[in-house]
A and B are shown apart, each in its own frame.
Chain A
Amino acid sequence: MSFLSLKNVTASYGATQALFGVDLSLEEGEFLALMGRNGMGKSTTIKIICRMMKHQDGEVNFAGRDMRGLPSHKAARLGVGLVPEGRRCFPNLTVEENLTAAARTGEWTLDRIFDFLPRLRERREQSAATLSGGEQQMLAIGRALMTNPKLLLLDEATEGLAPNIRTEIWAMIGQLKATGLSIIAVDKSLKELRGVADNCVILERGATAWTGSAGDLDDATASRLLGV
């Protein structure tokens, strides 16, 4: 049994169905890129994994456990850490408070985060609202790491950031992969993801359209499914 597996998962927002059968599996230590054009169900899939949304049919298994009916904080406690789209830092809390708010004990401690993201140490006492976009993104990543996740979900982690900061963040994500953390990253930039991802899952109209290793993704498939 894989570390995380979604089998034929369907979900809907009220009367509107969003997922029509997503299949996805991830081994421990694997880096999976979840891709697809806008509105194809990437974010919904992420929401299903961290239990912000209930799925209708299909199975979601994580670390050998059926996730059906689990509230989101229990999922987080099981080891699902999320870097949400749009960062969503706690604006009036200081950087340190942001990091400790949801922290759970484990290898990642405040010191280790500050070593990993030295910029945050400088900003320790500053409120999150005063950080730049890149720093907020780092804070969001640090905050997710402080929950000591077994699986890190990165939803559009470099959206709206300057190219040099994107590179910096992708380098950091690469380092995280090297520590053996399982990661699922949602992003639109194929170029950068190809560099770090082991495997790719591409969604189309709420269902898995292509699965395979990142190296096997040829340009024809990419342009057909991703439109790039």
Chain B
Amino acid sequence: MDILQLLIGGIANGCIYGLVALGFVLIYKATEAVNFAQGDMMMIGAFITLTMVNEEWWGLPFGIGVILAIVIMAGLSYLLEVVVIRKLFGQPQFAVVILTIALGFVLRFFAGVIWGHDPQSLETPFAGKAFDIGGLILGYDEAVVIIATAVLTISLYFFFQRTRLGVAMQAASQNQLAAYYMGIPVKWISSMIWAVAGVTATVAGILFAAKGAIDPASGLLGIKAFAAAVIGGFGSLPGALAGGLIIGIVEPMAQYFAPPGYSQIMPYAIMLIVLVVRPNGLFAQIQQKKV
């Protein structure tokens, strides 16, 4: 029974990792860039929501606060792309990596200045309530996390696979010049995808802050989510979620079974093993590098 309970907690955590990983994959799929600031965007999204909703700040109704926060974060991410990221168009991937790492530091700094460094929790209508299924406790918050993640992943998956805009986004990342030639508005697409990634980051942040507490350093969770994205193959949306779940489940299990000290290493160890054995992830899209 204990193990089942751990599993539920792990799945809920894994969903959050998966959501952040989804943001990585989205941006990678559409622009071939890796956004190392995704975790920090999650943190900012959570803080904005918290400002809207919590009693000590503005105390707006939960639903309105969440929607407002999502809209604001979409706008901020869009702007971030236009003002900063777009300047690096066509430059080596690595430049974007360093840029986003630095952006992460900047975001963390501003969050620290604005919201302070103490962990804060998001007040939600579903806090403290739980389903009791034959002795298993499934918190409302956990249920919400799982459902929200599933819905987001599935809809994004269909968006990329089925809609013309989704296909155009993939085309833009594969050959920017040809995409320009074909009349795909490459720049607009890049901004849009950042906005979408900002939205998934906010949702992840809300869920994270509802389950636990958020502080400016929480953005470092992005590194774990990163491991999830890698395990999933970095180009695959379901893969990102699967990677998130693997890491989410392994963590509490390792804490339970492995000697102390080893459990923190587990997510990264799995990622390294995956990278060594299958350098392109379990759900590989990439098998070979061109000249």
Q: Which residues of A contact B (CB under 8 A)?
A: 50, 52, 71-73, 75-77, 82, 84, 88-93, 97-98, 100-104, 143-144, 147
Q: Are B175 and A88 in contact (CB under 8 A)?
A: yes
Chain A residues near B171 (CB-CB < 8 A): 90, 93, 97-98, 101-102
Q: Besides the contacts A76-B181, A97-B171, what 6 more A-B pairs have beta carbons closer than 8 Å?
A: A73-B183, A82-B181, A89-B178, A90-B174, A90-B175, A100-B167
Per-residue contact bits, chain B 176-211, to A (CB 8 Å; 1 contact, 0 not): 011111111110000000000000000000000000
Q: Which partner residue on chain B sits nearest A97 by CB separation?
A: B167
Chain B residues near A88 (CB-CB < 8 A): 175, 177-178, 181
Q: How far is the CB of B178 from chain A (nearest CB, A)?
A: 4
Chain A residues near B174 (CB-CB < 8 A): 90-93
- Indicate the size class of the contact surface on chain B: 10 to 19
Q: Are B170 and A102 in contact (CB under 8 A)?
A: no
Q: Are B164 and A72 in contact (CB under 8 A)?
A: no
Chain A residues near B177 (CB-CB < 8 A): 52, 84, 88
Q: Are B285 and A92 in contact (CB under 8 A)?
A: yes
Q: Which partner residue on chain A sits nearest B189 by CB separation?
A: A73
Q: Is the interface of B mostly helix, strand, loop or mixed?
A: helix
B184: contacting residue among A92, A93, A102, A144, CB under 8 A: A102
* Whole-angstrom CA separation of A84 from B175 in the bound complex: 12
Report if B168 contacts A (CB, 8 A): yes
Q: Are B164 and A101 in contact (CB under 8 A)?
A: yes
Chain B residues near A101 (CB-CB < 8 A): 164, 167-168, 170-171, 179, 182, 184
B170: contacting residue among A76, A90, A103, CB under 8 A: A90
Which of A75, A91, A92, A147 lies at the interface centre, i.e. has the most chain B CB atoms within 10 A of its CB?
A: A92
* Whole-angstrom CA separation of A37 from B13 in the bound complex: 63
Chain B residues 254 to 287 lying within 8 A of chain A, measured CB to CB, are 285
Which of A84, A88, A90, A104 lies at the interface centre, i.e. has the most chain B CB atoms within 10 A of its CB?
A: A90
* Whole-angstrom CA separation of A88 from B182 in the bound complex: 11
Which of A89, A100, A101 lies at the interface centre, i.e. has the most chain B CB atoms within 10 A of its CB?
A: A101
Q: Are A103 and B164 in contact (CB under 8 A)?
A: yes
Chain B residues near A73 (CB-CB < 8 A): 180, 183-186
Q: Are A72 and B181 in contact (CB under 8 A)?
A: yes
Chain A residues near B175 (CB-CB < 8 A): 88-91
Q: Which partner residue on chain A sits nearest B168 by CB separation?
A: A101
Chain B residues near A52 (CB-CB < 8 A): 177, 180-181
Chain A residues near B184 (CB-CB < 8 A): 73, 101-102
Which of B171, B185, B186 lies at the interface centre, i.e. has the most chain A CB atoms within 10 A of its CB?
A: B171
Q: Which partner residue on chain B sits nearest A155 by CB separation?
A: B181
Q: How far is the CB of A89 from chain B (nearest CB, A)?
A: 7
* Whole-angstrom CA separation of A100 from B168 in the bound complex: 8
Nearest 7 Cβ contacts at the A-B interface: A76-B183, A102-B182, A88-B178, A101-B171, A90-B174, A73-B185, A90-B171
* Whole-angstrom CA separation of A147 from B167 in the bound complex: 14
Per-residue contact bits, chain B 230-259, to A (CB 8 Å; 1 contact, 0 not): 000000000000000000000000000000
Q: Are A147 and B285 in contact (CB under 8 A)?
A: no
Chain B residues near A144 (CB-CB < 8 A): 182
